[in-house]
Amino acid sequence: MDLETLLTSRDGFGLESATFLQRAICRVIDGAPLDDLLARSSDFDRRCLEAAIGCSASQLPTGAPPTEVVDMEPVRCGKSLRLAALAFCRTQTIDVGIVKPGEQAPRISILATELDQASAIRGHLNMVNEKPALRALKIGEDADSITIRHPRGCAVELRVVAAKRGGYSLASRWSGSTAFDEAPGWYSTDRIVSLEESRDQALGRLLPGAQNIFAGSKWQPSGFCWKAHAEHFGKPTRELVVISPQEVN
Amino acid sequence: MAFRREHSKLRPQPTRLKDVKRRERSGERSRNQDAKGRFTAGNNAPKGRAVKRIIRRYLGEGAASTDQVEALTQDTLVLFKAFKRALGNDAPQVQDTVARRARWGVLSAWYALHAAELGLGTEDGMAALDMALKLDARAERLDVTSIDLAERLVSKDAVDPHAFAAATFSRPSPATPAPAPALPDAPDEGGEEPGRGS
């Protein structure tokens, strides 16, 4: 299962009108090669992609999803829908071999500056109930979560959680991925609930194939997202890729 | 099986009747038959014929001693086929449960009619009505049980949902390139935002 097909398929999340850049960003997040997509793109498309990642497409790491992705796209361009699709995709692609029988099921956590904003992604996840191919994998749901069956049979929970002091809402279980929505707007380390501490808690618990995704539009000249952009934009690695389409002039 | 969350733990939640999802049909008459109803090459209709034969025999096929038994048997077989088709699952346990549900359903109706013939106020009529109600209750319970079994047991024709999802949501391999979907034109600068809202 790959993110681009899941997001753009009529049987999936249904974004059939996805642009070249939206498809390319899906592949960057998946660590998938862009060759065939680039082969049928225009010069404008390629310039847009290079401006969004700050380097040539050939410099992007491929073969496996990067551990962390900072995705700072403009408003109203499908970030939350993509996060919902990504969360569903990771329920099928993470390696749960390390999880022992009887252990708490891995969780894919969705956090935002406020629970209300994170709930927007829970809303997009209702697509699972609409599409038979997705619904067949669902084993339960409640107001804040959907539980999906992994190909190896274990349950993987997609849950909207409130960010807590020290990032402790992400502790105590394996993480199948963590989505930090509106990440540029989070408080930094000088506050009780901060993005950096939540990130630290998530990093040590990521299963193989899992990711930390920081999505949101640029906002403040401080904090993790600003630093990541300043230090890593245009220098993608397997550990961190920064996407910022607003660099297009 | 569905789960419910109770005190932050997952607990098994048997499917409630009202939550049973509507069966999705292909719209084709049968994958074993063509448009004219003739069996096609490679059809799998004979699969499970031993189970089918036993169930038909238990439902009284070919063993009717009187016209009345013959009529009841025919009704039972028709109902059995209809129930099985509606459930969309041909696991042996489901077939057996549905067969009993059809049998008690038909007999219940017969006893109810017989009670009316005998006179509902008479002792015999009330005894027949009592039997009809008992059979009706049994049939109703078997109805729920058969739906439950059909939800839990995998039919031999069932598709593995993970394999289906993996095939549906995976990019074709470069060795067998699929026709590329047409990408929408690049937006003009300052144009409308493409895609959906975040």
Confidence of residue A112 (pLDDT cuts 50, 70, 90): confident
Chain B environment of A139 (Cβ under 8 Å):
1-3
Distance (Å) from the C-alpha of residue B57 to the closest C-alpha of chain A? 36
CB atoms within 10 A of CB B170: 13
Mean pLDDT of A100-114: 87
ipTM for the complex shown: 0.82
- Those of residues 22-51 in A touching chain B at CB distance below 8 A are 22-23, 32, 35-36, 40-42, 44-45, 48
- Among B97, B78, B96, B89, residue whose Cα is nearest residue B20: B89
Between A167 and A67, name the one with better pLDDT. A67
Runs of H (alpha helix) within A99-246: 115-124, 127-130, 132-135, 195-203, 223-232
Residue A130, Ramachandran bin (φ over 0: left; ψ between -120 and 50: alpha; else beta): alpha
pLDDT at res. B190: 40
Q: Are strands A68-71 and A240-243 parallel, antiparallel or unpaired?
A: parallel
Chain A environment of B166 (Cβ under 8 Å):
1, 92, 151
pLDDT at res. B155: 64
Q: Over 90: is that where the pLDDT of A187 sits?
A: no
CB–CB contact A19 B187 (8 Å):
yes
Report which residue type is found at A103: E
Q: Are A72 and A242 in contact (CB under 8 A)?
A: yes
Assign A105 to helix, strand or coil: coil
Total domains present in chain A: 1
CA distances from B85 to A188, A216, B24 (A): 60, 50, 12
Confidence of residue A26 (pLDDT cuts 50, 70, 90): very high
- Among A219, A84, A74, residue whose Cα is nearest residue B187: A74
CB–CB contact B186 A42 (8 Å):
yes
Between B37 and A209, name the one with better pLDDT. A209
CB nearest to B168's CB, from A11, A89, A105: A11
- Those of residues 52-91 in A touching chain B at CB distance below 8 A are 73-81, 89
A54-58, A239-243, B20-24: which range is least confident on average? B20-24
Give kind and range of the element (H or E) at residue A157.
strand A155-160
Which of B3, B21, B198 has the highest number of chain A CBs within 10 A, making it the mutation to test binding with A?
B198
CA–CA separation, B189 vs A182, rounded Å?
A: 25
Distance (Å) from the C-alpha of residue A221 to the closest C-alpha of chain B? 22
Q: Over 60: is that where the pLDDT of A111 sits?
A: yes
CATH number at residue A137: 3.40.50.300
Hey, CA dihedral for B17, B21, B27, B32, is it positive or negative? negative
**How does pLDDT run along chain B (198 residues), one tens digit per residue?**
566 777 777 777 666 655 555 554 444 456 677 778 788 887 877 777 777 778 777 777 766 677 788 888 888 889 998 988 888 788 889 999 999 999 999 999 999 999 999 999 999 999 999 999 999 999 999 999 998 888 788 766 667 788 888 888 988 776 554 444 444 444 444 434 444 444
Give the residue numbers spanning the domain of A50: 3-247
Between B23 and A33, name the one with better pLDDT. A33
Distance (Å) from the C-alpha of residue A217 to the closest C-alpha of chain B? 11
Q: How far, in whole angstroms, is CA A103 from its chain's centroid?
A: 25
Mean pLDDT of A56-73: 91
Q: What is the DSSP letter of A206?
A: B
CA–CA separation, B115 vs B118, rounded Å?
A: 5
Q: Are B1 and B14 in contact (CB under 8 A)?
A: yes
pLDDT at res. A183: 83
Q: Are A49 and A21 in contact (CB under 8 A)?
A: yes
Between A198 and B52, name the one with better pLDDT. A198
User: Does residue A11 sit at the B interface (CB-CB below 8 Å)?
Assistant: yes
B111 token code pair: 């006893």
Residue B154, Ramachandran bin (φ over 0: left; ψ between -120 and 50: alpha; else beta): beta
pLDDT at res. B54: 80
Give kind and range of the element (H or E) at residue A177.
strand A175-180
CA distances from A91 to A27, A118, A154, B48 (A): 17, 18, 10, 36
pLDDT at res. A249: 43
Q: Over 80: is that where the pLDDT of A71 sits?
A: yes
Distance (Å) from the C-alpha of residue A179 to the closest C-alpha of chain B? 14
CA–CA separation, A126 vs A182, rounded Å?
A: 20
Assign A159 to helix, strand or coil: strand
pLDDT at res. B26: 42
Hey, CA dihedral for B135, B136, B137, B138, is it positive or negative? positive
pLDDT at res. B192: 41
Per residue, the 3-state secondary structure of chain B, as one string, reads CEEEEECCEEEEECCCHHHCCCCCCCCCCCCCECCCCCECCCCCCCCCHHHHHHHHHHCCCCCCCCHHHHHHHHHHHHHHHHHHHHHCCCCHHHHHHHHHHHHHHHHHHHHHHHHHHHCCCCHHHHHHHHHHHHHHHHHHHHHHHHHHHHHHCCCCCCCCHHHHHHHHCCCCCCCCCCCCCCCCCCCCCCCCCCCCCC
Give kind and range of the element (H or E) at residue A70.
strand A68-71
pLDDT at res. B50: 78
Token pair 């499908």: residue: A78
CB–CB contact B10 A92 (8 Å):
no
User: Does residue A123 sit at the B interface (CB-CB below 8 Å)?
Assistant: no
CA–CA separation, A33 vs A10, rounded Å?
A: 23
Chain B environment of A17 (Cβ under 8 Å):
184, 194-195
Mean pLDDT of A114-120: 80
Report the b/e string of A162-191 with b at 16+ CB within 10 A: ebbeebebbeeebbbbbbbbbbbbbbbeee
Confidence of residue A81 (pLDDT cuts 50, 70, 90): very high
Report which residue type is found at B197: G
CA–CA separation, A243 vs A27, rounded Å?
A: 12
CB–CB contact A76 B180 (8 Å):
no
CA–CA separation, A114 vs B71, rounded Å?
A: 68
